[in-house]
């Protein structure tokens, strides 16, 4: 009973606070609905960024990968901090100066409207076929693993999965459909506090258990006995995430995701000014440095505790087993509420971004160029409903064999490299043409798909023969290759078919773009700490 009360209590608290802080907001303009009226402050931006990214696919997926491999998978979190510093210092000043609502809007300004439409479709495709359904699936399977929903309700595993997917999906949709970005960001922030508390609580309690009441004794035992697991370079045989990818595709992945991805950048675009946006992103980067302790270390502790009882193929059960072993019953309901809140946060944030992209990049272009604010909000809500229903329908049908987190990253990478190439060349050059940009956006994803999915076995055999290795060539290396190929291709095309006009960046003065005076110093500190992780934990 106490579990149920604490679960309902925290979930209701988030909803009530979100409602109270947004009940007087008028959702009658695109800025109000999609950007929170450009009123978001640093802590709200930081909390929303953290929870938009972190969810059960990290807690369960990355901890599971750490259980089967090493803490090298922490690179997904640690290197993100460096990309966030870049976003705060370089990209945000450009975005806010231009008064953007979406990233594809920049492509209209820099190239042409058709480039924007193609980019919008690629974003929406990525969100619809990968992020939304996978987030729901991870959330549902995580909740089932942690709280035995099927056994509690007397359902089959399949029935419980469908019930949980639709329950979480419907609840998450309410925030995105009716509250807009501000409601999403506020709920994210509150859930973020809970996520940090319970996320750090699990490894602390686990190490205390391992050390028979002594946290440091437990940490020393795990570190000593599982020393090979703590090699952050990932140089194990057949490494799951080899160290070399940090200097190739990981750079492309992280710069795209944290600097140009709509579902992430939209939080900062809704800032009241540049200083708040930079503070919010850098605060979130600081939280990212806690990531390894929450989403990687528990996987290693679980390996230490359960390596003789949990088979490698059951790796997705590592984190749930650890939670059940160390979490006091009195906190179970609160933990469940936070886990569901994390799923809701990622789901409703991506849903809101999808609606923003569709309305600004498709609806206004093809259906109603003179659309009023109310018409855009209505179109956004309809879009959210359609995408939510599609995600809830397809999520339970996804194949869960193999690393789901890796699968999610592969699907996203199909679009990441070419999109980043187009955006970066737009910012760094003046003569790259719209024709070249469209070619990059269309051909780049096709090439990546063929290399990683369509002809994977043949490509791997060819590359292994070229490099004289029997180990699989990591898809992040191929991401870097496609990125470079797209850049070179666009430059060559533009040499023969240059831009007809030279792009000149214009300021809209919608928000104050005076930078935060401590932005550079804070960014430097975060970068030093990130590099220190690798220096201290390299073996």
Q: The pTM is what?
A: 0.85
Q: For residue 87, what pLDDT is reported? A: 95
Tokens of 498: 């240059």
Q: Which helix (H) or strand (E) holds 153?
A: helix 149-153
CA distance 23 to 361: 28
Given 3-state DSSP classes, what are the helix, strand and coil percentages for the chain, each rounded to the nearest 5? 80, 0, 20
Q: Using an 8 Å Cβ cutoff, are 245 and 474 in contact?
A: yes
C-alpha to C-alpha distance for 298 and 318, rounded to whole angstroms: 9
Residues 6+ apart with CB under 8 A from 307: none
**Do 263 and 131 contact (CB within 8 A), yes or no?**
yes
Distance, in Å, from the CA atom of 433 to the CA atom of 441, rounded to the nearest integer, reads 13
151 contacts: CB under 8 Å, gap ≥ 6? none
Three-state secondary-structure class, residue 464: helix
**Domain annotation for the chain: domains and CATH numbers:** 2-16+30-402+514-537 (1.20.1730.10)
CA separation, residue 251 to residues 305, 416, 422, 460, 538 (Å): 34, 11, 16, 22, 19
Question: Which regions of the chain are under pLDDT 50?
Answer: 238
Q: At what angle do helices 274-288 and 42-53 cross, to 10 degrees?
A: 40
Residue reference for tokens 């939080």: 267
Cα torsion 94, 99, 100, 101: sign: positive
Q: Is 535 exposed, middle or buried (0-12, 13-18, 19+ CB in 10 A)?
A: exposed
In 3D, which of 287, 292, 297 has the Cα closest to residue 204?
A: 297
Q: For the chain, how long is the longest CA-to-CA vector? A: 71
Whether 314 contacts 141, CB under 8 Å:
no
């Amino acid at each position: 009973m106490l579990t149920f009360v604490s679960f309902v209590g925290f979930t209701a608290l988030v909803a009530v606070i979100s409602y109270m802080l947004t009940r007087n907001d008028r959702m009658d303009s695109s800025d109000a609905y999609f950007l929170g009226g450009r009123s978001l402050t640093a802590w709200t931006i930081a909390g929303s960024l953290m929870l938009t990214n972190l969810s059960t696919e990290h807690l369960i997926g990355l901890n599971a990968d750490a259980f089967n491999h090493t803490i090298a998978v922490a690179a997904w979190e640690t290197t993100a901090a460096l990309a966030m510093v870049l976003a705060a210092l370089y990209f945000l000043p450009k975005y806010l100066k231009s008064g953007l609502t979406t990233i594809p809007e920049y492509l209209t300004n820099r190239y042409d409207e058709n480039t924007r439409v193609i980019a919008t479709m690629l974003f929406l495709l990525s969100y619809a076929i990968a992020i939304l359904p996978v987030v729901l699936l991870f959330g549902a399977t995580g909740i089932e693993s942690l709280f035995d929903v099927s056994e509690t309700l007397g359902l089959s595993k399949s029935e419980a999965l469908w019930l949980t997917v639709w329950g979480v999906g419907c609840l998450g949709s309410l925030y995105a459909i009716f509250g807009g970005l501000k409601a999403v960001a506020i709920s994210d922030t509150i859930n973020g506090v809970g996520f940090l508390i319970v996320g750090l609580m699990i490894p602390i309690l686990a190490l205390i258990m391992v050390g028979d009441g002594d946290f440091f004794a437990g940490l020393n035992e795990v570190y000593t006995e599982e020393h090979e697991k703590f090699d952050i370079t990932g140089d194990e045989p057949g490494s799951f995430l080899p160290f070399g990818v940090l200097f190739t595709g990981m750079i492309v992945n992280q710069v795209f995701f944290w600097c140009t991805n709509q579902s992430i950048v939209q939080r900062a675009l809704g800032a009241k000014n540049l200083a708040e946006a930079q503070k919010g992103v850098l605060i979130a980067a600081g939280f990212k440095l806690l990531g390894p302790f929450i989403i990687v270390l528990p996987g290693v502790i679980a390996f230490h505790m359960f390596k003789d009882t949990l088979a490698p193929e059951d790796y997705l059960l590592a984190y749930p087993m650890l939670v059940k072993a160390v979490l006091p019953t009195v906190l179970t309901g609160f933990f469940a509420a936070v886990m569901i809140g994390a799923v809701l946060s990622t789901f409703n944030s991506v849903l809101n971004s999808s609606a923003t992209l569709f309305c600004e990049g498709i609806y206004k272009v093809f259906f109603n160029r003179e659309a009023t604010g109310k018409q855009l909000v209505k179109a956004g809500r309809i879009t959210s409903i359609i995408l939510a229903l599609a995600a809830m329908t397809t999520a339970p049908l996804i194949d869960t064999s193999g690393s789901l987190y890796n699968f999610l990253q592969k699907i996203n990478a199909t679009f990441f490299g070419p999109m980043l190439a187009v955006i970066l060349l737009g910012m760094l050059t003046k003569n790259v043409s719209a024709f070249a940009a469209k070619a990059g956006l269309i051909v780049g994803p096709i090439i990546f798909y063929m290399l990683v999915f369509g002809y994977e076995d043949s490509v791997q055999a060819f590359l292994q023969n070229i490099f004289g290795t029997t180990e699989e060539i990591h898809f992040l290396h191929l991401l870097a290759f496609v990125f470079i190929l797209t850049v070179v291709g666009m430059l060559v095309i533009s040499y023969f078919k240059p831009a007809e006009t030279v792009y000149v960046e214009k300021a809209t003065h919608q928000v104050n773009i005076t930078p935060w005076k401590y932005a550079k110093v804070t960014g430097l500190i975060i970068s030093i700490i990130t590099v220190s992780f690798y220096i201290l934990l390299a073996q």
